[in-house]
Each structure stands twice: as C-alpha cells, then as structure tokens.
Amino acid sequence: MAQSMKIAIVDDEQDMRQSISQWLALSGYDTETFPSAEDALKALGAEYPGIVISDIKMPGMDGMQFLKKLMGADSSLPVIMITGHGDVPMAVEAMRVGAYDFLEKPFNPDRMTQLAKKATNARRLTLDARALRRELSDGDQIMNKLIGASPVMARLKEDILDLGQADGHVLIDGETGTGKTLVAHALHAVGSRAGKKFVLVSCGAFEEDALAKRLFGPMNPEDSQLPAVEEARGGTLVLEDIESLSDALQAKLLNVINEQGTPAETRIVAISNMQEQDRTCEDALRADLFYRLAALRITVPPLRQRGEDILTLFTRLSEQFSEEYGCDAPKVTAQEAAQLLQAPWPGNVRQLINLAERAVLQSRRSEGTIASLLMSDHEEMQPVVTTEGKPLKEYVEAFERMLIDNTMRRHRGSISGVMEELCLPRRTLNEKMAKYSLQRADYL
C-alpha cells in the first residue's frame, strides 16, 4: 500500500497557517501546522513521511536557517519556501541551499497544490527507495521473501547462506521468472559485504558501446555515477544476462577479475538467462571467464518442482493483491489447487504473480474462475486432478494443508474460529495441523 504523505506547514502567522492547511486539506492532504521553526524541528526527522512548506521570514529561527537544518538532517526532504514580494534573490539562495521550490506572495493556491503534488510524489519515491534498500540489505527480510518449504527451496536457502559467506564469484542460472535477481540480493545481504555497495547492471539492456562505458568507463565529466566496476568496489557487482557480453567486453571483465587478485575485492555475481537446450552459458562465454565466474554456482529451481510452495505463494500473492484492490481474495477449490500444482509454469514465479493479480481482479467482478485463467495460460492442460507419477492423495493433502493454513491466517490463530468454519472437531484439527507442521503461534 502506498504510504500516506503529510504536509508540515511552518509560519508564524496563524491566519496564513490555517488558510494553507485548509486549502491543502480540501485537496486531500494530511496537514500539520507549526508556529515556529523550532517547534517544527522537534517533529520533523530524516524519515518524515511528507514535505514541508515554510515561510522564509519568521522571528527566532528564520526560514533559511530552518532550511539548512532540514537539509542537514535529510537533503532529499522537499521544502517549499514562501517568500514575500520582491524577495526573489532570497528565494534563489534557498534553492541553492536545497529548497525544492518557492512560492512568492501573494501566491495562487492552485499553484501551491500542484507543487505539493509533485513534491509529495518525489518524497514517496525517495522513502520507498530507502525502504527497499534497507529491505534488500537485511538478510532476514530478504530470506523471508524466498517463500516455500519444499526440499528444493530448503536447499536453495542453504546454498545462499553457505555461498553468502564465501569470497568467490558466483554464477546464478535457472529458467526465466524464477527469482535469480532476488537470490543475488540475498547472497549480498547474508554475507560480509552486506553493508557495502550492491550494483546491478543488465547487460542485455545496453548497446555494446554504452555497456562498455557503464561497466568500465570512462565517464563524461557531467555523469553523476562512476563506472560500475568502480562504483561496486569492495561490494557486489551483479551482471544480469552475462551471456550478452561481447568477446571484447568479456576480455575486459576478465582483466578486472585478474587484477583484483584473491580474495577478490569486489564480488561478481553473474546471472545467466540462457534456456536453449543446445546452447548454454558455458558455450556463450570464453572458457577462462566462465570458470572464474562459475567458481560457485546456484541453479534456481523452476516453480513446477516446488510442490506445495505453489499454493503457498498463490495464497500470499492473492492476499496482497486483494488488500491492494480492496476486495476479498478468491477461494481456491480442490480442482483448482490440483491444477495449480500440475501446471507447467513456463514463466515460473513471475507468471504466478500475474495469475494471482488477474484472479483477484476477476473475483472482484464476481466472474470467472482460477481454472479458466489457468486454461487460458496453458491451453494444452486438461482439467484433471492427477498427473503421471503423482497420486491423487498428494493433491488432496496439498489442498487440505492450504485450506487449514488460509483459515488459520484469516482467523489469526483462533482455533475455535477455524473449527467452526471447517466443521472440524478439535482433535481432528490438532492432528491435521501436526501432520502438516502448522503451528498456531505462527498465526497470532
């Protein structure tokens, strides 16, 4: 859910504070007012979820001093300054110090609303980016994003924890949509480089000259970023679509790796998306580079090998989308659960995310079924509940576990609520929860 943005209004004149607050409140903003910069500073911090509108001339701490204090705490906080008529030089100085923009009295309220909209949007993007960076640098949080308890996922998590502590370069491969970039983030987050730079470059997104410049430089004087190999120094450099590198760029990358020595100052995580049966990443790269990058290797399992994880993921995703769209999550029938488990999933988790969103939107309109969406994605799939090598009993158990898990989640661990909804006696529910390793404490 998008974070609600506030607007802090700072002005020593009560009438001005109230009129600005009332106008912005009518436009849907959550406002708070302060009669002085000193009072405002007590409430505004580096993570303030909004923007500031401040008069530039105030008794005590004036607007310029206030602005400098705010910029010192958080240089990306949007501050809109209100100046008197003819104070343009002061407004220009405020912009130099870091003000987002300024309004000259008497100002047009619509202009103020437009500025507030732009500034709050910018602030939301900044805070979202910070939250994402924190999340992606938190080993526990990012490992929790690797949802699933299937044997292949348990092995993947073990590999990430083991390889995260190592110094060698890593090659991550696997089918499209399996979450290879998330695994790269996890490797960085659980290792000794967690607090250092994480730089990701999609090699397939650049023409060769632009990619050479992005990776190795030289950069133009006006460019705001360093070449990736410099930017990531001491941290982790992730190269998506590594097979896209030309022979010349492969040679340059190999030189960088050789110059680093052992252990490497910068860890390189290469991600390969090659799927052809007759051509692999090893075929696409020169042998000496391949074996340096593949010193350690992780293959991310496809969704169709993850068993009941498919139902767990679908439940979590549909709950997230139902919250976003303000409606109930669709109910999954036993037939649909079986079809989810036996679908081929060529797009893997990315495809499942799309399906969950479509299922929620479809449910909101009270039309269609999950099965119909599956059939449209996999026209060759037959609406049956068994598949070769997998007995019906496994599908029934998977559905039963999903049903109890969903109901426990909905009732927040209330055993009596679950017993009533599922018409199960206490002993039977306890037995089934023990059978499926479901713990009441996980739902409280």
What is the enclosing helix (H) or strand (E) of 80?
Answer: strand 79-83
* Highest mean pLDDT of the ranges 90-94, 116-120, 144-148, 431-435: 116-120
Tokens of 351: 């495809």
Q: Output the pLDDT for position 384.
A: 38
| Cα 335 to chain centroid, rounded | 32
Distance CA 300, CA 148 (A): 13
**Could you tell me the pTM of the whole model?**
0.62
Contacts of 377 (CB under 8 A, 6+ apart): 343, 351, 355
Averaged pLDDT score across all residues of the chain: 85
Q: Is the pLDDT reported for residue 275 higher than 70?
A: no
Percent of the chain at pLDDT > 70 equals: 91
Q: Output the pLDDT for position 395.
A: 65
Distance CA 309, CA 392 (A): 17
Q: Output the pLDDT for position 388.
A: 40
Q: What secondary structure does DSSP assign to 359-408, as a single string?
A: HHHHHHTT---HHHHHHHH-TT--S-S-BTTB-HHHHHHHHHHHHHHHHH
DSSP label at residue 29: -
Tokens of 365: 């309109």
Question: With bands split at pLDDT 50, 70 and 90, how would you rate the model's confidence at 380?
Answer: very low
171 near 159, Cβ under 8 Å?
Answer: no
Question: With bands split at pLDDT 50, 70 and 90, how would you rate the model's confidence at 290?
Answer: very high
End-to-end CA distance of the chain: 22
SS3 for 340? helix
Q: Output the pLDDT for position 276.
A: 53
Q: Is the pLDDT reported for residue 59 higher than 80?
A: yes
Distance CA 371, CA 331 (A): 11
Q: Is the pLDDT reported for residue 37 higher than 60?
A: yes
Q: Output the pLDDT for position 354.
A: 93
Starting at the earlier edge strand, list the strands of the sheet with 267-271.
198-202, 236-240, 267-271, 170-174, 296-300
CA-nearest of 154, 357, 168 to 257 is: 168
Q: Output the pLDDT for position 172.
A: 96
